[in-house]
Chain A
Amino acid sequence: MTEREMDELKKLLKGAVPPVGGTELRRDLWPEMRRRLEERTVRVRVPWWDWALLAGASLLLLLFPRVIPALLYHL
């Protein structure tokens, strides 16, 4: 394909699909990005009852250490 043929093809394509004009950004996207960052940042919060359950289980194991092998067997 010659350069002239290529130029004609470009002209034809541009006639049907003009280049996008105005590709400059018209607004600052940072506030939106900041909002999304805050929304998408997963904050892992452990509820109080989970802590209570953990404390209870630890206390149980301290008071009755013989339970540990049985517990491991069932795990």
Chain B
Amino acid sequence: MELLERFAAGDVDAFESLFRQYQGEVFGWIMRIVRNRATAEELALEAFWRMYRARASFDVARGNCGGWLRRIATNVALDHVRRVRPEVELAEDPPDDAKPDLVQQSEVRSAILGAINQLSPRIRTVVVLALIEEEPYENIAQGLGISVNAVKVRVFRGVRSLRKELTRLGVHA
């Protein structure tokens, strides 16, 4: 019996194999959304727990375990963003080359943060993933369970809102 079939049948050893195979990928994806290492670890465990509970509904014939898991991970992260983390956080270890002089000014920085945080969680998540993390649209679409065109629409709406808000705040993009 193949690994995915054994997992769907409730074999814990098969689940462990899948867990070890995907834990890094799931953690990294959630980390890009919630931007906090401890939270991302916790949510990755929750995502795998949901995966394990839903094993009976997994379509072994299609076999796309990675895509299925990414959707679960995205839902877990979005639930968290909606519930307890209404605002985008700064990265824990920002790379040095990502600090242009312009945004050293705290007023500009807080204006930009304010503009991002006024977006709805679902638009904000897509904007952060697409424009800041530069994730391919295909990955975002797969994670959210929507089409690439729907991702483009959300990016467009996000950019439009951001530009409007930044202009109102006197920051010109």
Contact = CB atoms under 8 A, between A and B. Distances in A.
B31 A15 contact: no
B45 A17 contact: no
Given A9-B163, A20-B91, A37 B45 contact: no
A21 interface: yes
Contact of A24 (B24, B41, B95, B113): B24
A52 to B, nearest CB: 32
A54 B113 CA distance: 65
A18 B99 contact: yes
A29 B44 contact: yes
Contact of A29 (B31, B41, B90, B159): B41
Interface string A1-45: 100011011111111111111111111111011101100100000
A50 B162 CA distance: 64
Interface residues of B, number: 47
Contact of B16 (A9, A12, A15, A30): A30
A37 B19 CA distance: 13
A28 to B, nearest CB: 8
Contacts of B37: 26
Which secondary structure dominates chain B's binding surface? helix
Contacts of A16: 103, 108-109, 112-113, 116
B98 A23 contact: no
Given A10-B131, A23-B32, A15 B98 contact: yes
A1 B131 CA distance: 14
B96 to A, nearest CB: 9
Nearest to B33: A20
Contact of A15 (B23, B32, B102, B162): B102
Given A20-B35, A29-B45, A30-B20, A11 B100 contact: yes
Contacts of B12: 37
Contacts of B109: 15-16
Given A17-B88, A17-B90, A33 B48 contact: yes
A13 B20 contact: no
Contacts of A32: 45
Interface of A: 1, 5-6, 8-30, 32-34, 36-37, 40
> Which 9 pairs between the two chains have the least Cβ-Cβ distance?
A15-B103, A18-B94, A16-B112, A18-B98, A23-B28, A20-B91, A9-B173, A21-B93, A25-B27
